[in-house]
Structure 1
Amino acid sequence: MAGTINRDDIAAVRERAPIEDIVGQHVALKTAGVGSLKGLCPFHDERSPSFHVRPGVGRWHCFGCGEGGDVIEFVMRMDGLPFAEAVEYLADRAGVQLRYEAGGSARREGTTGLRKRLLEAHRIAAAYFAEQLGSPEARIGRDFLRERGFDRDAAEMFGVGYAPQGWSHLGEHLRGKGFTEEELRATGLMSEGARGLYDRFRGRLVWPIRDVTGEVIGFGARRLHEDDQGPKYLNTPETALYKKAQVLYGLDLAKATVRSERTTVVVEGYTDVMACHLAGVTNAVATCGTAFGSEHVKVVRRLMGDTGGPQTKVGESGARVVFTFDGDEAGQNAALKSFQLDHQFLAQTFVAVDPDGLDPCDLRQQRGDAAVTELLAHRVPLFEFVIRTALNSHDLDTAEGRVAALRAAAPVVAGIKDRALQPEYSRRLAGWLGMDVEAITRAVTDAARARRAAPGEPPPSTGAIPAYQDEGPSRPNPRDPVVRAEAMSLGVLLQAPREAASDPVGALVLRDLDSSAFTVPQYRAVFDAITAAGGPGSAGGDWANAVAEQAGETLAGIVSELAVTPLPHDRPDALGHWGGTVLARLMDLSLTRQIADVRGRMQRAGEGTEGHQAGFAELIALEKRRRSLRDP
């Protein structure tokens, strides 16, 4: 292959390669309700069929092993092909003529030569940006660095540069070095509009992103000017060189310490990496525009030598991973996501959070280098931080709150990799909750039993955080009626969005529906992905795949599961009305929770107070909205 495949052509392959025909070559599919097929999963042994295909949404999912995806991912798994070759295979079958962003169409012609040219273009671009940092226009960038405690030597150490304002400065510079338009397209340094190529990075502070060998493979750029309407941080798009799920910023500088100390410090941004290294923490790295994921785990484990035989116990590999997060809700959510990856390490995992919520960059700026090293010295085990987070989200002064906190924390204790630590943390949890150790031990044992349940049976919901599982993202309890209502609503939005939006009640709900209606964190994130994909009103033929792309790798399996779960109806002509009813039920539950919250505030405020009066007005409005749904 001579370059990356055009995204529109990939979408065309998904639409024109019937998933039921491709899967049907390997699996005997039978009807499983309207618009659904099922058969025996080709990826694990099973006696009864749990592998479902929904041709209408172009997705498949196995409710036994949890695997799922689109037609391309099926071919990749089934035939062991990399992504590009799977697309080419399907394109040949579907009659889709593929275009390659780097030009040409030969399967592997010139691949090595192209990579060399792309690396050269990035070296030249990095030098150009670094030189521009000294220009009068770049004063705003120098001020940005200085205000955060970074001088010229620091900028040179990390290769920080400045992309000048204007549309073609870098492009003309590279053209002057002999690069063709096709090569410029393949670099990811250019964007393309009606008038041709133009610079992707303009008026921004720029960090070169290097692979483990030190080669520049991409850039991250920070917005500086108020009239810049782009995102705060803009990264290189996916290219033949740059795969964000596999890239860690600062790894080229950190690798020696990571190997020698067998410890990796994962921070959240470019300036945090700079601050750590300048403070002497030279094993710090950061992800680039994406969450820390499974591919990053593999990179880190290889570098640390986080290996062992079948008898190796947790922590005996001698490796450590320390995550730093902001102290806000986003930081806590990042910690929970990292905990889901914890089982992929043999290494001990820790988290370091400043009590005042400062990140390493702010910490160094305000308190000096020693504060950064002190932050990491006071790290705590990741699972302990997750337990504490679960407890903090409940009112431990009430019996109900303590019971809910126990339900949230017990699965975390059950998920501690080092089984020898479980009794100790059961005792600690008993102390934190003020409950008998025996009650805690029973709850942990029940949670551990749920984790060992038969495939396809997720453990009970834990409230504040999802139940922990050995493989894949944890899932909520499907027996919970609220969970079922939320899952069914997302199934409607993924499988029949236009029909639901055409129903009067469905349209009424969709006008006001937002992520706060979902209590399950994963479902809330899937709804956010639906919104990011344009919302139900923009759903097209590749709708579920578009949502999965927005959701990201961690949630893609949940999107597949929701998109292929058969909807309990058998009248396609009534699908819109049924979908509207399902969405109305979801909104009704949300309004009921809001009404309960308002009544609680009114009671605490007391009759005759301004708070009580304000709450009463809010209560009337909520009751009116709920009646409009129940009696449309």
Structure 2
Amino acid sequence: MAGRIRRADIDELRSRISIVDVVAEHVTLKTAGVGSMKGLCPFHDERTPSFHVRPAVGRYHCFGCGEDGDAFQFVMAMDHTSFQETVERFAAQLGYTLHYEDGKPQEETSGRLRLLEASKAAEAYFREQLLTPGAALGQRFLGERGFDLAAAERFGVGFAPASFDALKSHLRGRGFTEAELLGAGLLSEGQRGSYDRFRGRLIWPIRDVAGATVGFGARRLADDDKGPKYLNSPETPIFRKSQVLYGLDLAKRDIARGHEAVVVEGYTDVMACHLAGVTTAVATCGTAFGVDHIKVLRRVLGDVSTTDTRALGRVVFTFDPDEAGQQAAARTFAEEQRFAAQTFVAVPPEGLDPCDLRLERGDDAVRRLVQQPRPLFEFMLRRIVAQHDLETVEGRVAAMRRAAPVLQSIRDRALADGYMRTVAGWLGVSPEEVRAAVRQTGPRPTPGAGDAGRPGGAPAHPPADVALGQLERDPASRLERDAVAAMLQQPAVLGRDLAARGASAYVANPSLAVVRDGVLATLDAFEASDFSERVAQAVPAELVPLVRALAMSPIPQTSKEGVTAYVRGIVGSLVDRDILRRKAELLGSLQRLGATDPEASKRLQEQLLALERERRSLRAE
């Protein structure tokens, strides 16, 4: 087992990694002023972006939950990897050879990376097998559904031979251990030992948002296969079905660009949609659409609350009209409030799923399906009303009572009023009767209420470290906070003289005063690109989070000239305030002296004149 990775290798990798590229695999980032980008935090559920990335310093910081770090820490937090595993993964991606403290170059990768490599090798094997005569059943299945080999290649579709250990033998020959193949979910264990989990089935690779193969979905083909219709990979260190959406690696850029996602029910539906031009389609992998899927999708959508409905994204769900599809719609509706985006339902005609719809009616029919959906609220309300006999008073009252909680849950009150009138029309009652039923319904709990990750709110318990939001809100504290942040972020813009004067100015807030002292102690490196990190190393450990939060705080300007004016202006205001404080102290001393010591009075007056000249000079600048 290799020892610790050399520090020089870690620093070299860090210099080669773009934190924007790393974060953008999970978060849709937008420009937030000079040298800063922002998006929805991947670590807690939120509706307005508080997650900031500063490429120049290679760090991220969330002003909502306090998460902070560099590219390595981001991947460790997202993928639950150790530091060594994360460094080794980046090294493998960049083709960089690591060295360890024993002096030997990298000879083996970490456990998680080995599982990813095993899955990648298995995908390649399955894809090769699809082209063999033994895969005739799989080839016919694809052809009957309108997919040629080019489509199979595009989505990485493969075939698992009907063999007890064909994959196992192949990958063991490639150097993978049986334990690694079991850990990746490629083998299962029985009384006679391990065997291939997937046999005689069509295979779809399931990839994470970054495009790494983490699991597989397998479709039964032969009549004598007594297993389930679809067999997926088990839960493994690299595959958690509740956190993965099939096709997201292919759809993410178009989802982020168009702020629209289409959620379908199966692998072939995703293929059909993409081939028909609906390139924002994704699907769950053997589980119901849930909270974790929403978190993943919202980050890619850039799903942000806004009063402008034109700026909201769209999420379109397709459900089969059968009972199972209706139940899936109800489960999805239960979590709908977690989206800021507008949610819709597209019900295929005559019970056709998107794959069959494309096969029978062509690509245009698939595009029309998702272009003309019904709002999810309307879909659910119609479903409720349809379950009651509206020819009777009892049926109408029961339908109204069942619809009331749905109407109560609509956040947009104007929209809620509109649906109340609509439901009243369906039931043949007055809108006031429906409103009365809604008033009798208690408020619907906010999804996730009480959780640190509840949407649109701050964590239930703020982080223990010192956060910007915990500083006093009076103008004096805001000035100190903003000036110290400017000194941390743009010391070179200030120049050595103004930076030194700002770092020596009086700061009343104790925490900010310590950070200011760190700036002063590090001033010799004020032109360094990692200046804020050097300041973080100079302050006590408990104030490091505050330094990093200040260093990530957005500057309210976008142009280079605007940033220069703002930074010099805010630091100048802090210095100006300090000059006034010093003048007040000198005037007090002068008054106390009176006529008892003319020489001392003269010196104090000279100091007062010097301060006034300094103040005028500063304001002129």
Using the size of structure 1 for normalisation, the TM-score is 0.53
The one-letter code of the counterpart of 1:225 is A
Please state how far the C-alpha of 1:313 moved relative to its aligned partner.
Answer: 3.8
Candidates 451, 466, 471, aligned match of 2:447:
471
The answer as to whether partners of 1:266 and 1:323 remain within 8 angstroms in 2 is yes
Give the aligned residue type for 1:274.
M
TM-aligned CA distance change 1:294 to 1:111, over 3 Å: farther
Q: Following the alignment from structure 1 to structure 2, what is the Cα–Cα distance between the partners of residues 147 and 395?
A: 42
Secondary structure of 1:431's counterpart equals: helix
8 Å Cα contact 1:191-1:199 kept in structure 2: yes
Which residue number in structure 2 is paired with residue 434 of structure 1?
428
Instruction: Find the aligned partners of 2:173 and 2:292 in 1 and give their Cα distance.
Output: 37
Instruction: Indicate the residue corresponding to 2:315 in structure 1.
Output: 321
CA distance in 1 between counterparts of 2:426 and 2:127 reads: 52
SS in 1 for 2:194: strand
What residue in structure 2 maps to residue 350 of structure 1? Answer: 344
Structure 2 distance, partners of 1:197, 1:315, is: 55
Whichever residue aligns with residue 406 of structure 2, its letter is V
Match of 1:249, SS state, is coil
Structure 2 residue 213 is matched with structure 1 residue 216: yes
Q: Percent identity?
A: 59
Query: For the Cα contact (< 8 Å) 2:304–2:312, is it kept in 1?
Result: no
Counterpart residue identity of residue 354, structure 1 = P
Alignment of structure 1 residues 94-133 onto 2, 5 Å? 113-133=110-130
Contact conserved, 1:317 with 1:347, CA < 8 A, in 2?
no
Counterpart in the other structure of 1:393:
387
Give the superposition deviation at 1:330: 0.9
Which of residues 230, 235, 241 in structure 2 aligns to 1:238? 235
Once the two structures are superposed, what CA deviation does each residue of 1:512-535 show, in whole Å capped at 9, x if it has no partner? xxxxxxxxxxxxxxxxxxxxxxxx
How many Å separate the matches in 2 of 1:422 and 1:416? Answer: 6
C-alpha displacement of 1:256: 0.8
Provide Cα deviations, 1:151-202, integer angstroms capped at 9, x if missing partner.
Answer: 1111111111100001100000000001112211211000011222110000
What is the deviation of 1:401?
Answer: 1.0
Q: How has the CA–CA distance of structure 1 residues 400 and 83 changed in structure 2, closer, same or farther, with 3 Å as cutoff? A: farther
Q: CA offset at residue 83 of structure 1? A: 10
Check whether the contact 2:185–2:233 (CA below 8 A) recurs between aligned residues.
Answer: yes
Q: CA deviation at 1:124?
A: 1.0
**1:351, distance to aligned residue in structure 2 (A):** 0.7
Q: 1:407 aligns with which of 384, 392, 401?
A: 401
Partner Cα separation in structure 1 for residue 185 and residue 177 of structure 2: 14
Q: Distance in 2 between matches of 1:252 and 1:211?
A: 6
The residue type equivalent to 1:332 in the other structure is Q
Where do 5+ consecutive residues of structure 2 fail to align? 1-76, 83-106, 450-621
Say yes or no: does 1:423 pair with 2:412: no
Partner of 2:169: 172
Pick from 325, 340, 347: which aligns with 2:334?
340
Post-superposition offset of 1:420 = 1.5
Measure the CA separation in 2 of the matches of 1:216 and 1:368.
Answer: 31
Counterpart contact for 1:313–1:418, Cα < 8 Å: no
Q: Work out the CA distance in 2 between the residues paired with 1:392 and 1:84.
A: 50
> Residues 139 and 240 from structure 1, CA distance in 2 versus in 1: closer, same or farther, beyond 3 angstroms?
same
Match of 2:154 in 1: 157
Q: 1:316 deviation in Å? A: 6.4
Secondary structure of the residue aligned to 1:242 is coil
Aligned counterparts, 1:183-198, within 5 A: 183-198=180-195
Report the Cα distance in structure 2 between the residues aligned to 1:177 and 1:219, rounded to whole angstroms. 20
Instruction: Supply the distance in 1 between the matched residues of 2:310 and 2:355 (Cα, whole angstroms).
Output: 32
Matched-pair contact (CA < 8 Å) for 1:317–1:346? no
Written as runs of structure 1 = structure 2, the 5 A alignment for 1:139-154 is 139-154=136-151
Give 1:394's aligned amino acid: H
For the pair 1:300 / 2:297, whether they are aligned, the reply is: yes
Matched to 1:165, the amino acid is A
The one-character-per-residue Cα deviations of 1:9-61 (angstroms, maximum 9, x if unpaired) are xxxxxxxxxxxxxxxxxxxxxxxxxxxxxxxxxxxxxxxxxxxxxxxxxxxxx
Which of these two proteins has the greater Rg computed from alpha carbons?
Answer: 2
What is the Cα deviation at residue 112 of structure 1? 6.4
Instruction: Report if the CA contact (8 A) 1:314-1:418 is conserved.
Output: no
Contact 1:190–1:197 under 8 Å retained in 2: yes
Deviation of the 1:146 alpha carbon: 0.8
Aligned amino acid, residue 181 of structure 1: E
Shift in alpha-carbon separation, 1:383–1:233, aligned structure 2, 3 A = same
**Structure 1 contact 363–371 (Cα < 8 Å) conserved:** yes
RMSD: 2.5
Q: Which residue of 2 aligns with 1:273?
A: 270
1:383 match: 377
1:138 aligns with 2:138: no
Tell me the amino acid that sits aligned with residue 407 of structure 1: R
Q: Is the 8 A contact 1:314 1:417 kept in 2?
A: no
Residue matched to 2:282: 285
Structure 1 residue 125: Cα displacement = 0.7
CA distance in 2, matches of 1:166, 1:435: 65
Letter in 2 for 1:132: Q
Deviation at 1:295, TM superposition (A): 0.5
Decide whether aligned partners of structure 1 residues 112 and 401 sit closer, same or farther in structure 2, where only a CA change above 3 A counts.
farther
Q: Distance in 1 between matches of 2:421 and 2:276?
A: 37
Letter in 2 for 1:355: P
Q: Residue in 2 aligned with 1:483? A: none
1-structure distance, mates of 2:310, 2:436: 28
Q: Cα distance, 1:337 vs. partner?
A: 0.7
Structure 1: distance between partners of 2:243 and 2:211: 15
CA displacement 1:181-227 (0-9 Å, x = unmatched): 22112110000112221100000000000111111111000001111
Do the aligned residues in 1 keep the contact of 2:338 with 2:447 (CA within 8 Å)? Answer: no
In structure 2, what is the equivalent of residue 604 of structure 1?
none
Tell me which residue corresponds to 2:255: 258
Task: State the 1:315 CA deviation.
Answer: 4.1
- 2:515 corresponds to: none
Distance change in 2, residues 1:112/1:432 (3 Å): farther
Alpha-carbon distance in structure 2 between the residues aligned to 1:155 and 1:263: 25
Call closer, same or farther: CA 1:245–1:317 in 2, change over 3 Å: farther
Indicate if the aligned counterparts of 2:216 and 2:233 stay in contact, CA closer than 8 A: yes
Secondary structure of the equivalent of 2:110?
Answer: helix
Q: Structure 1 runs of 4+ off > 3 angstroms?
A: 82-85, 312-317
Indicate the SS of the match to 1:307: coil
Compared with structure 1, are the counterparts of its residues 300 and 111 closer, same or farther at alpha carbon in structure 2 (3 Å cutoff)?
Answer: farther
Q: Find the aligned partners of 2:250 and 2:180 in 1 and give their Cα distance.
A: 28
Give the letter aligned to residue 139 of structure 1: A
Tell me the secondary structure at the aligned position of residue 327 of structure 2: helix
Deviation at 1:472, TM superposition (A): 5.7
Distance 1:314 1:209, change over 3 A: farther
1:568 aligns to what? Answer: none
In the TM superposition, 1:58-69 aligns within 5 A as none
| Alpha-carbon spacing, 1:247–1:284, altered in 2? closer, same or farther (3 Å) | same
Give the direction of change, closer, same or farther, for the CA distance of 1:145–1:360 in structure 2 (3 Å limit).
Answer: same
**In the superposition, relative to structure 1, how do residues 314 and 170 fare at CA in structure 2: closer, same or farther (>3 Å)?**
farther
Separation of aligned partners in 2, 1:375 and 1:471 = 29
1:370 to 354, 364, 372: 364
- Indicate the SS of the match to 1:356: helix
Distance 1:409 1:314, change over 3 A: farther
